[in-house]
């Protein structure tokens, strides 16, 4: 991801900072590009489920946030692009480790936006795969 259209890193970081609903996860912007965004997700012991694995809601929140930010790299700051559908496949567990989540827009329609996200660990091992439909109700 080399091009930096739409929102600047500082603007994306501000959106993330303003998103108090995900503040407890301590996400940060890792990289972004035209229609893409990668966030870094630090490991936190409080999100470990039995068996020593990072719990599913962390992955889902990371994917949803990364997708929303990826949309903003195309459209600018759009608070009312909202998740209409999200499907999550848990492929491998993260055992007490940080991970990254990259979201990419596939199609920006007038009313609907389609995208995908994947979470990987520091070695690039695929942990989760997500598909999205976002709605643009203010259009």
* Tokens of residue 52, six digits: 């020593």
Q: Which residues pair with 89 in a beta bridge?
A: 129
Burial (0-12, 13-18, 19+ Cβ within 10 Å), 83: middle
Residue 56: predicted pLDDT: 97
Integer Cα distance of 131 and 139 in angstroms: 22
Q: How far apart are CA 43 and CA 94, in angstroms?
A: 9
Residues 6+ apart with CB under 8 A from 26: 41, 42, 44
Look at the alpha carbons of 54, 124, 132, 42 in this order and tell me if their dihedral is positive or negative: positive
Q: pLDDT per residue over 96-111, tens digit each?
A: 999 999 999 999 999 9
Residue bearing tokens 């996400």: 27
Residue 63 and residue 131 in contact, taking contact as beta carbons nearer than 8 Å: no
Which regions of the chain are under pLDDT 50? 1-4
Which pLDDT value is given to residue 2? 45
The angle at the Cα of 68, spanning 1 to 23, to the nearest 5 degrees, equals 105
| CA 108 distance to own-chain centroid | 17
**What is the model's pLDDT at position 139?**
58
Predicted local confidence at residue 137, as pLDDT: 79
Domains and CATH numbers, the chain: 9-135 (3.10.129.10)
**pLDDT at position 13:** 95
pLDDT at site 78: 78
């Amino acid at each position: 991801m080399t091009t930096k259209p739409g929102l600047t890193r500082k603007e994306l970081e501000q959106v993330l900072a303003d998103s108090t609903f995900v503040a407890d996860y301590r996400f940060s912007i890792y990289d972004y590009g035209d229609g893409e965004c990668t966030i870094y997700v630090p490991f936190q012991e409080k999100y470990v489920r039995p068996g020593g694995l990072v719990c599913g809601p962390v992955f889902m929140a990371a994917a949803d946030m990364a997708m929303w930010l990826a949309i903003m790299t195309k459209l600018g700051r759009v608070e009312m692009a909202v998740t209409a559908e999200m499907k999550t496949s848990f492929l491998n567990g993260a055992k007490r480790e940080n991970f990254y989540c990259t979201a990419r827009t596939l199609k920006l329609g007038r009313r609907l936006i389609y995208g995908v996200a994947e979470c990987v660990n520091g070695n690039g091992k695929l942990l989760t795969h997500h598909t999205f439909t976002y709605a643009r109700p203010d259009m």
